[in-house]
Chain A
């Protein structure tokens, strides 16, 4: 595979302070501005407080004369009403600019469209113009500055509220049933960007992990071509294929070119081209795959995939079949 990340375990940062895409750069710059203003306010007010507490402390609890009483001062109070109000107006205008730039951005004609559907507990990605359906690992192109190709995500949910959050690429956007939200990302460098669901969606909310692969335009074209191919029909695993189609797997999963067309679980047409299974919970290798089919709860408790109770023969055959689906 033309995957950049050498191994599943080479985790990369999810810090909002290392932005790697356009909206997250804007957010980062704005955040730094806000952080500096609040830091200055903190230093001034906390400094005055500390000074007052040290300067006016009085050790003896019992003997004191009452200090001079001051009941208020209109000028001072007006000053500390007006100055913060001006700071608020300035912050508000700055923030509004970024909101409008992000939410009202015009979609370029060469944008890549992806329909994102949130499920308990995995992500479905459909590329309507390219005829691709995949799951959990989103591939997007890196823009050529001369020829921007941001990815526009049209997001909805099949069941509960979810939230798409890849901190280095953009802020989060919720996926809500009966509603279509949009956001866009435009990674500036190839690589793997991690994130995860940020809206509580039930028992296994924690392992609804997100993986976004930003490919160079050439790699992206190659990936698209690969995903558009029909599923592999390797005669060596015909037995596994038959076992797959004979069992309840077909109720939930699709493998294009076969009678399996379930929509409840991830599309498996190109399962072996993915680095991970179970929405990023574990590496995609035959051992994990077998364990996953046999007992999903052992890898991801609360997963909606049922334990299939297959005999060893079928289990091995199906695992072997799935590993050929490049």
Chain B
């Protein structure tokens, strides 16, 4: 496919064919991966690790949906259900969302800015392994939570772990300690990686790549990583305070001794709300790379896109208390947080409009990466609009803590973020492996995913509006919730099947996929100028760039981009 695209000869001139390596023993391969400091290998390990947890988190979701398919179901006990939603939330946010996005960032940022590695390669390896250890620790609680032999004692305090439920008196045993430690460790890893990405973007750009010529992906990772310091640090502090409460008898959150439950909420959401943007900005980053290439248009309004991203980064730090409209803050505080929450829809809207304008007048190719990006555009639009509804505090007094909220944030996390992660897989898999993913399986994956997604999360809004609270293991019949819950459960199973097709596609294409060449999509950013997969040092000669789309300039010397910037 790649070879039939014309105009690449000058690109291939700066390529380096990977050196054929002798076949290695399994232990040698393992040693190679465990000790690596190469940003691409670490990126791939992050991604592989997240995919394993994605499957685990998915199984937990399916268990919950089987339990809720019919009222008064007894598929699992209340406690098992509570563990399932705790682990599902914690796993998906901390051990799927963050690491998979850091994985892509690790892999792509140095390649896209023409660097040979991250700024601190060994810190990078450390960050990965400490995060991974956090994930293993969470699941170790299954066997170690209530003493070594207390099998099946995973945490059941919710991923938000509101105080005082986490106090020793309400949460005896060690399951909550494992939860705390696991978040603490993965938080340290996140901060390390974020620091590394910021340093890399600031210091490691190749000649000619001024900040205003960086790919938008690098910009968004810069904003996201900066937010990680500001947002994850309070979470880490809160986890330490919680550990002090549980181990040495301090009373930060211990209401029985005069501690404050609200204090925990503030700490948690000062992390928790920016976290949503920490996860969604990389998804925007993928969209910013994929949508232009598959529309054959430069991104519309690059400076506005950068400004909107930075704006989202700042405003997102002032919206946390919209999770607390029902905790009895005064009218003044509620009014402030209504405004800050609503105003964030302006930069977000700019992004959607700019993507629309990028598509407008283009030549759109509906390959798998673009299909998932299109799904993302529509679903993120809905997520944004339900977000506006939730920002209206009185409306939120009805909706918060209901299934409407669950539907809303799954629109963000699945409909927007996961869809863009899938798009990114289809888009960059050829770069990382040298082979294309199957388009036929990709289409199956996409359509099943879309059907399953909408069956699940469209209909999940309705029981919320009909008064169904979240985090309940069963419900009473007769309130009009039954049919919606059944449809939601069916949709969840369809999504699980779609995800399995995707995993199969990954494995199958890795061995049997069509050869990709260096630049299968006829793209414009630097990673497509090197070999697929790239050699360990990325570029044989340091690239020099003159515009935002360096490969365009090479492919269209008669009409280079720098004429327009």
Residues of chain A touching chain B, judged by Cβ–Cβ distance below 8 Å, are: 9, 11, 13-17, 24, 26-27, 30-31, 34-35, 38, 41-42, 45-46, 48-49, 52-53, 56-58, 61-62, 64-73, 76-77, 80-81, 84-85, 88, 91-92, 95-96, 98-100, 102-104, 159-161, 163, 165, 167, 170-174, 176-179, 181-182, 194-207, 209, 301-302
- Are B397 and A71 closer than 8 Å at their CB atoms? no
Shortest B482–chain A CB gap in Å is 12
Query: Could you say which residues of chain A place their CB within 8 Å of the CB of B480?
Result: 13, 15
B20 part of interface (Cβ distance < 8 Å): no
- Are A72 and B303 closer than 8 Å at their CB atoms? yes
Q: A88's closest neighbor in chain B, by CB?
A: B342
Query: Could you say which residues of chain B place their CB within 8 Å of the CB of A66?
Result: 296, 363, 556
CA distance A207 to B162 in the complex (A): 19
| Among A16, A41, A204: residue with most chain B CB under 10 A | A16
CA distance A167 to B381 in the complex (A): 27
B350 part of interface (Cβ distance < 8 Å): yes
CA distance A14 to B480 in the complex (A): 9
- Are A203 and B78 closer than 8 Å at their CB atoms? yes
B258 CB contact (under 8 Å) in A35, A170, A178, A199: A178
CA distance A299 to B468 in the complex (A): 21
CA distance A4 to B24 in the complex (A): 79
- Are B466 and A15 closer than 8 Å at their CB atoms? yes
Residues of chain B touching chain A, judged by Cβ–Cβ distance below 8 Å, are: 1, 4-5, 77-79, 82, 156, 158, 162, 164-165, 170, 255-256, 258-262, 295-298, 300-304, 326-328, 330-331, 334-335, 338-339, 342-343, 345-346, 349-350, 352-354, 356-357, 359-367, 374, 377-378, 381-382, 385-386, 388-389, 392-402, 465-480, 556, 564-565
CA distance A211 to B117 in the complex (A): 62
- Are A178 and B261 closer than 8 Å at their CB atoms? yes
- Are A27 and B302 closer than 8 Å at their CB atoms? no
- Are B296 and A172 closer than 8 Å at their CB atoms? no
Given A15-B480, A49-B381, A177-B164, 11 extra CB contacts under 8 A: A11-B477, A15-B467, A30-B395, A31-B394, A58-B364, A71-B302, A80-B353, A99-B334, A172-B400, A198-B400, A301-B77
- Are A178 and B302 closer than 8 Å at their CB atoms? no
B466 CB contact (under 8 Å) in A14, A62, A81, A172: A14
CA distance A61 to B397 in the complex (A): 49
Query: Could you say which residues of chain A place their CB within 8 Å of the CB of B360?
Result: 52, 56
Shortest B462–chain A CB gap in Å is 10
A-B contact pairs, 18 of them (CB 8 A): A11-B477, A16-B398, A42-B382, A53-B374, A58-B365, A66-B556, A70-B357, A72-B304, A95-B395, A103-B330, A176-B262, A177-B164, A179-B328, A195-B467, A196-B469, A200-B82, A202-B170, A205-B82
Query: Could you say which residues of chain B place their CB within 8 Å of the CB of A161?
Result: 162, 164-165, 261
- Are B352 and A45 closer than 8 Å at their CB atoms? yes
- Are A71 and B565 closer than 8 Å at their CB atoms? yes
| Cβ-Cβ contact count across A and B, 8 Å cutoff | 268
- Are B301 and A77 closer than 8 Å at their CB atoms? yes
Query: Could you say which residues of chain A place their CB within 8 Å of the CB of B295?
Result: 56, 67
Query: Could you say which residues of chain B place their CB within 8 Å of the CB of A85?
Result: 343, 346
CA distance A181 to B334 in the complex (A): 14
CA distance A42 to B357 in the complex (A): 16
Query: Could you say which residues of chain B place their CB within 8 Å of the CB of A302?
Result: 78-79
CA distance A171 to B469 in the complex (A): 12
CA distance A103 to B334 in the complex (A): 10
Shortest B246–chain A CB gap in Å is 16
B164 CB contact (under 8 Å) in A68, A160, A196, A205: A160
Shortest A196–chain B CB gap in Å is 6
B328 CB contact (under 8 Å) in A76, A176, A197: A176
- Are A57 and B565 closer than 8 Å at their CB atoms? no
Shortest A296–chain B CB gap in Å is 13
| Among B295, B303, B389, B398: residue with most chain A CB under 10 A | B398
CA distance A9 to B377 in the complex (A): 44
- Are B467 and A16 closer than 8 Å at their CB atoms? yes
- Are B378 and A49 closer than 8 Å at their CB atoms? yes
Shortest A286–chain B CB gap in Å is 22
Query: Could you say which residues of chain B place their CB within 8 Å of the CB of A172?
Result: 326, 397-398, 400-401
Shortest B90–chain A CB gap in Å is 14
- Are B467 and A205 closer than 8 Å at their CB atoms? no
Query: Could you say which residues of chain B place their CB within 8 Å of the CB of A56?
Result: 295, 359-364
Assess A38 versus B385: contact at CB under 8 Å? Given A95-B338, A178-B255: yes
Shortest B358–chain A CB gap in Å is 9
- Are A176 and B327 closer than 8 Å at their CB atoms? yes
| Among B4, B352, B365: residue with most chain A CB under 10 A | B365
Q: B86's closest neighbor in chain A, by CB?
A: A200
- Are A16 and B465 closer than 8 Å at their CB atoms? yes
Shortest A198–chain B CB gap in Å is 4
CA distance A102 to B396 in the complex (A): 13
CA distance A317 to B131 in the complex (A): 60
Query: Could you say which residues of chain A place their CB within 8 Å of the CB of B331?
Result: 99-100, 103-104
- Are B328 and A181 closer than 8 Å at their CB atoms? yes
CA distance A181 to B345 in the complex (A): 30
- Are B300 and A72 closer than 8 Å at their CB atoms? yes
- Are B475 and A206 closer than 8 Å at their CB atoms? yes
CA distance A72 to B303 in the complex (A): 9
Query: Could you say which residues of chain A place their CB within 8 Å of the CB of B303?
Result: 72
